[in-house]
Structure 1
Amino acid sequence: MGYRQNYEQWLNSEFIDSELKEEIKNIKDEKEIEDRFYKNLEFGTGGLRGIMGAGSNRMNIHTVGKATQGLSDYLLDKYKGERISVSIAYDSRNNSEKFAKEAARIFCANGITVNLFDSLRPTPMLSFTIRHLNCKAGVVVTASHNPKEYNGYKVYGEDGGQITDNSAEKIISYINKIKDFSVIKIMDYNEAIEKGLLNIIGEDVDKAYFSNVKSLTIRKELVEEHAKDLKIIYTPLHGSGNIPVRRVLRELGYENLSVVKEQELPDGNFPTVSYPNPEEKEVFNYALNMAKSLKPDIIFGTDPDCDRIGVVIKDSTGEYKTLTGNQTGILLTNYIVKSMKEMGKLSDKDVVVKTIVSTDMVRKILNEYGVELIEVLTGFKYIGEKIKEFNESGNKSFLFGFEESYGYLAGDFVRDKDAVIAAMLICEMTLYYKNKGMSLYDALVELYEKYGYYKEELVSIKLEGKEGREKIAKVLDFFRNNIGDEINGVNIIDKKDYITGIDNLPKSNVLKFTLEDNSWFVVRPSGTEPKMKIYFSVTGESSNDAEMRLEKFKNNIINIVEDIIK
């Protein structure tokens, strides 16, 4: 069906919301109409994510409805004859609560029991709740750290992990069978409650989750005796982390915690930032202003659905620096493994899991402690998948997992990255070093001096619309088939094309090149945004040497890419 036909069908359908129809009628730009209707918003391995608005290629109650009906059909087929329940959470984004309630009404109309949170909650709490309440699936309405125009619909399996490729393909096949909005079943919200199909959940589940989080404290005596001494500044960036992060830290005794007031309350317009992403130093401007008088030991912020965390520390010159996701991963890995070893809690079954685009520096750290490192594809769902595998086989025990994009997890009661857990561990780690007369910056430099100066960077190139997709495909085709044997005089010693299914990993449209000087880069399309992502890694003899190597290497690759897409 062409985009114009699709456009007309939306305008004429009796099932399309009148406000969305009005929005469509007011669009005068033909290119805008084409972008909204040239395809259906794709349900990928992470579910739906897109710009909110009217149209088949937008996030709205109808695209959410179609996905939910398809997911319902899938669950009813997969679990025939069984009691089926799902849990639903949502964050602070515009329309998140509306989309969550729409999904709940559709599940209930299909005879599926729904556990819906009474207010916004972090994504990791949804992951926990699925297993805690013995659900068959879960949904969280969020677009993570995307700009305010976006929202999304992430689907989780009964193990509490994001659905992986095989499940996603099956769910997509059910969604694709829905050709008309008339087949989407829906029940009145109050009727669903009266019939016992819709349960509103809250404090009981919260208590169970927070109890599990606090159990991950490693140096309990240190925290009990000195938590009150740590000065913390925290910003929830208008998201769902405000109450959970503060509650856990307060219950553990971290009394000296200041919250950025301007960014404290939930607000889907994210008025103080252009992009609610704790990877960006700009989002910490208000926190840094507070730091002038408060002089904190640590500053951190969580994204809207509180699964990612960004950390700011003071360097030796007194300047505040935003840690990269890899640097926080290095510090946490070292702290956890070192502490467990010192306390006699490290097992020969313990495993750390990271993604293929995350720093290789952890390999050197783990080698020293005799801890195994396992690599997975980009995306925390693959780390969650490993936790399930370890639990089922009993051969390995999950100790810690991280990805360079600011996601961290300890414990196995959550199966996705968790910024509540990470915040707690970062505070404990900072407290440990403070008691030794060191800052986190001192600890990081100590690790670099010991294991080598690793520098990594991610460059995201925005390529929107149909034309953008074609350019991304062109770049991948070049690197896959025409790159040659060297880059700027340095030999390529290893090329991995993950689309062929290698290293016992699922097939994925990802390319990784390792060069003779131990540098590497990875090229892949984003699974959630109209972007191409290029990851770089180098090692150097000093911080400056690594920085110079990184700049040169990065520029070489970016020049190649720009020549292809111009």
Structure 2
Amino acid sequence: MNYMEEYKAWLESPYIDDETKKELLSIKDNEEEIKERFFKYLEFGTAGLRGKIGAGTNRMNKYIVAKATQGLAQFILEKSDPKMGVVIAYDVRHFSKDFARIASEVLAGNGINVYIFDDIRPTPMLSFAVRHLRATAGIVITASHNPPEYNGYKVYWKEGSQILDDVAIPVQENIKKIKDFGEIKYLNFDEGVKRGIIKVIGKEVDEAYYEKVLSLALNDDIDKNISIVYTPLNGTGNIHVRHVLKERGFNNVYVVKEQELPDPDFKTVGYPNPEDIKAFKLALELAREKNADIVLATDPDCDRLAVMVKHNDEYIALNGNQTGAVLINYLLSQRSKKGLLKEKSMIIKSIVTGNLGKNVAEKYGVLTFETLTGFKNICGLENKLEKEGYQFEFGYEESIGFVTGNFVRDKDGVISAMMLSEAAGYYKKQGKTLVDVLNDLYKEYGYYLENNFSLIYEGIEGMEKIKRIMKYYRNNFPKKIGNLNLEKYIDYLDGNVYNVDGEKIGEVNKDHIPSSNVLRFFFEDGSWYAVRPSGTEPKLKVYIYSFATDREESERKLKLIEETFRNIVDKI
């Protein structure tokens, strides 16, 4: 598209307000900025929209939100029942509430019922509300843990999980057909409320959600006096995590004051990602003061949870694989004792998540299914397998996303905080920390260690380099690294499993794992690594997992695989 023509069209459009035009006029002499804002439309996909806030086609603003919502509205009118309604939630970010109201007005303008939350809510509560209210879809305005200048728009379908291609592609086609903002239908928010087509929801949905979350509790024979420090990182988790922990009887919960209240600028942390140890700085100060047993952090939309554990007088961070394995061990051991596990009980993990949790599940007779990264895929597979009679026990991925129960179809930081606190209280009563539990698992199942990292390749040259690396590894992968012999590899682009000579020896379940540009290499000893280009950034993502019966040997293998990989890609 011609960026200058688009820029002028926005300035001349009768549907663009004066404030937006003023912002655009302020960049009239900056062609590079005009190009950046107008060289394309924000792409609508299975993850919805995400981008920097501002005026322009390649920005998050009320016009782009309205256009996306009109495209969704048309799909609902064609394929579903508008009376079922759409649930809308929003986070703490700049313009989140405004964008949520715009989406409400467009849906109502198309005759579609709307349920909109009265204030900020965690993303998983949107997933719950879609199912609870039997709505046809859900929208949440959030950019998760992105920097403050970003916002986003995610769409959920009636099962409560994020949309997949069967919805995303036709909605995107509808959006592309809208040539003029005048085609978008609106009904004023207050008028919509007056007519009853827009309903404001809150307390009654919260209470139904809390009841379901608390029903997941497995054990009261725990130490409820454990000391817990919690930070919502100035996001949506504060009220809901604290409420659930209090209802479970955890009274020694201390919240980081500076990060307790919503702040769209995330001034105390900058990059509000709990995977980043720097996000724990203030929480650790409070933890040392309060002698906390565990330190919990949720990201701004409260769908992911990170934990640090006090062990031998120091605080140790558990990564997503480790936390997942500890939770699986606790949940399945307790459910097994209570006779709650079924023959078709299962967990679901992503293909780049480690195998320790899978081995723990196997001990309890629980099956493990794999799918692509992202909870849209994990919960999408849950929806399918549920219809085949499987009982969902747990879903997780290495990037600190976890969920249990069947009433939320997304990762859930509230549920995760409660279950991890329960596990910590249970093991403390036995004189153990969560790190002790993890070490016990290593002793029983072997040392699964990991190093996941990204290689950044900017610009057009960078994109070409990523393509060359993927092509090289499809054709010239090393069959031996040190004393590690390659056994097989999977190319998820064609869904086939190959031996070291490139001969097809099997295929993945393509109904569970759609085609994706991912390569995964397995060694005879149980170590493996995977490579994939990022779908959203100029990065090559690398996942390395080593396995050995003792830690030192596993660490040696991990280092060896990484060094070999880096040496190869440097020369490509």
What is the TM-score when the length of structure 1 is the normalising length?
Answer: 0.94
After superposition, residues 90-239 of structure 1 pair within 5 angstroms as: 90-219=90-219, 221-223=220-222, 226-227=223-224, 229-239=225-235
Pairing 1:354–2:345 present: no
What is the CA-CA distance between 1:458 and the residue it aligns to? 2.1
| Structure 1 segment 256-267 matched on structure 2, within 5 A | 256-267=252-263
Deviates more, 1:160-169 or 1:197-206: 160-169
- Deviation track 1:293-352 (CA, whole Å, cap 9, x = no partner) reads 211111110000000000001233x22121101000010011111111223322222111
Q: Is the 8 A contact 2:84 2:134 kept in 1?
A: no
- Give the secondary-structure state (helix, strand or coil) at the position aligned to 2:325: helix
Q: CA deviation at 1:78?
A: 0.5
**Residues 12 and 496 of structure 1: is their aligned pair in 2 closer, same or farther, counting only changes over 3 Å?**
farther
Secondary structure, in 3 states, of the residue corresponding to 1:312?
A: strand
Q: Report if aligned partners of 1:49, 1:528 keep a CA contact under 8 Å in 2.
A: no
Alignment partners' CA distance in 2, 1:507 and 1:255: 48
What SS class does the counterpart of residue 534 from structure 1 fall into? strand
What is the rounded CA distance, in whole Å, between the counterparts of 2:55 and 2:464 in structure 1? Answer: 24
C-alpha distance after superposition, 1:164-218 (max 9, x if no partner) = 1222112212112112222111221111111111111000000000000000001
Matched residue type, 1:63: I
Query: Separation in 1 of the partners of 2:539 and 2:96?
Result: 24
Which position in structure 1 is the counterpart of 2:430? 436
Which one is further off, 145-154 or 458-467? 458-467
Q: Which amino acid aligns with 2:41?
A: N
CA distance in 2 between counterparts of 1:271 and 1:465 reads: 30
Using a 3 Å threshold, how does the CA distance of structure 1 residues 2 and 532 change in structure 2: closer, same or farther? farther
CA distance in 1 between partners of 2:179 and 2:482 (Å): 52
**Contact conserved, 1:387 with 1:412, CA < 8 A, in 2?**
no
Gap regions ≥5 residues in structure 2: 496-507
Q: Please report how far the alpha carbon of residue 467 of structure 1 lies from its aligned counterpart in structure 2 after TM superposition.
A: 6.0
**CA–CA distance in structure 1, aligned partners of residues 52 and 61 of structure 2:** 9
**Counterpart Cα distance in 2 of 1:9 and 1:486:** 58
Contact kept in structure 2, 1:514 and 1:521, CA below 8 Å: yes
1:10 Cα deviation from its structure 2 partner = 2.3
**3-state DSSP class of the match of 2:427?**
helix
> Which deviates more, 61-70 or 383-392?
383-392
CA distance in 2, matches of 1:560, 1:36: 37
Question: Following the alignment from structure 1 to structure 2, what is the Cα–Cα distance between the partners of residues 415 and 434?
Answer: 31
Contact residue 481 and residue 560 of structure 2 kept, 8 A: no
Written as runs of structure 1 = structure 2, the 5 A alignment for 1:326-365 is 326-365=321-360
| Separation in 2, partners of 1:561, 1:36 | 33
2:396 to 402, 407, 416: 402
Partners of 1:242 and 1:264 within 8 A in 2: yes
Look up the match of 2:298: 302
Kept in 2, the 8 Å contact 1:233–1:259? The answer is yes
- Which letter does structure 2 place at the counterpart of 1:399? E
Q: Distance in 2 between matches of 1:326 and 1:30?
A: 46
Match of 1:533 among 530, 541, 557: 541
Note the alpha carbon deviations across 1:4-42, whole angstroms, 9 max, x for none.
322222232222233333333333543333222221111
Aligned counterpart in structure 1 of residue 473 of structure 2, from 464, 472, 479: 479
- Deviation at residue 517 of structure 1 after TM alignment: 4.3
Q: Conserved in 2, the CA contact under 8 Å of 1:160 and 1:414?
A: yes
How far has the Cα of 1:257 moved from its partner? 0.3
CA distance in 2, matches of 1:418, 1:234: 15
| Residue of structure 1 in register with 2:493 after alignment | 499
2:386 to 381, 391, 415: 391
Query: Deviation digits for residues 52-99 of structure 1, max 9, x if unmatched?
Result: 22221111111111111100011111026x524000001111111111
Show the counterpart of 2:500. Answer: none
Identical residues among aligned pairs (%)? 47
Whether 2:8 is the aligned partner of 1:4: answer no
Query: Match for 1:315 among 293, 311, 315?
Result: 311
> Structure 2 vs 1, CA of residues 13 and 493 (structure 1 numbering), >3 Å: closer, same or farther?
farther
- 2:505 aligns to what? none
AA at the equivalent of 2:558 = L
| Residue equivalent to 2:446 | 452
Q: Does the aligned pair in 1 maintain the 2:348–2:382 contact within 8 Å?
A: no
Count of aligned positions: 557
List alignment gaps of at least 5 residues for structure 1: none
Cα separation, partners in 2 of 1:482 and 1:9, compared to 1, 3 Å: farther
Find the residue that maps to 1:514 and give its secondary structure.
strand
Q: Specify the alignment match of 1:374 in structure 2.
A: 369
Residue matched to 1:555:
563
Cα distance in 2 for residues equivalent to 1:40 and 1:260: 39
Specify whether residues 123 and 470 from structure 1 end up closer, same or farther in structure 2 by C-alpha distance, changes over 3 A only. Answer: farther
The match for 1:72 is 73
Contact 2:72 2:174 in 1 (8 A): yes
Q: Deviations over 1:485-508 (max 9, x none)?
A: 455785543222222244222122
Question: Partner residue of 1:22?
Answer: 22
Change (3 A) 1:5 1:491: farther
Change (3 A) 1:90 1:323: same
Which residue of the partner structure matches residue 45 of structure 2? 44
Match of 1:274 among 270, 273, 276: 270
- Name the CA distance, whole Å, in 2 between partners of 1:399 and 1:373: 10
* Equivalent-residue separation in structure 1 for 2:337 and 2:227 (angstroms): 26
Pick closer, same or farther for the CA change 1:493–1:166 going to 2, 3 Å.
Answer: farther
Task: Determine helix, strand or coil for the equivalent of 1:500.
Answer: coil
Q: Aligned equivalents of 1:499 and 1:25: distance in 2?
A: 45
| Contact 2:321-2:357 at 8 Å conserved across structures | no
**Residues 197-242 of structure 1 deviation map (CA, whole Å, 9 limit, x = unaligned):** 11110000000000000000011x325xx42x11100000000000
The 2-side partners of 1:500 and 1:17 are apart by 48
SS in 2 for 1:88: strand
Aligned to 2:504: none
CA distance in 2, matches of 1:480, 1:23: 48
What is the distance in 1 between the residues matched to 2:137 and 2:461? Answer: 36
Matches within 5 A, 1:44-63: 44-63=45-64
Q: 1:143–1:151: 8 Å Cα contact kept in structure 2?
A: yes
CA contact (8 A) 1:161 1:381 kept: yes
Q: Distance in 1 between matches of 2:268 and 2:431?
A: 35
Contact 1:35 1:465 survives alignment (8 Å): no
Change (3 A) 1:462 1:94: farther
- Cα distance change of structure 1 residues 563 and 38 upon mapping to structure 2, 3 Å threshold: farther
Deviation at 1:124, TM superposition (A): 0.5
TM-score by length of 2: 0.93
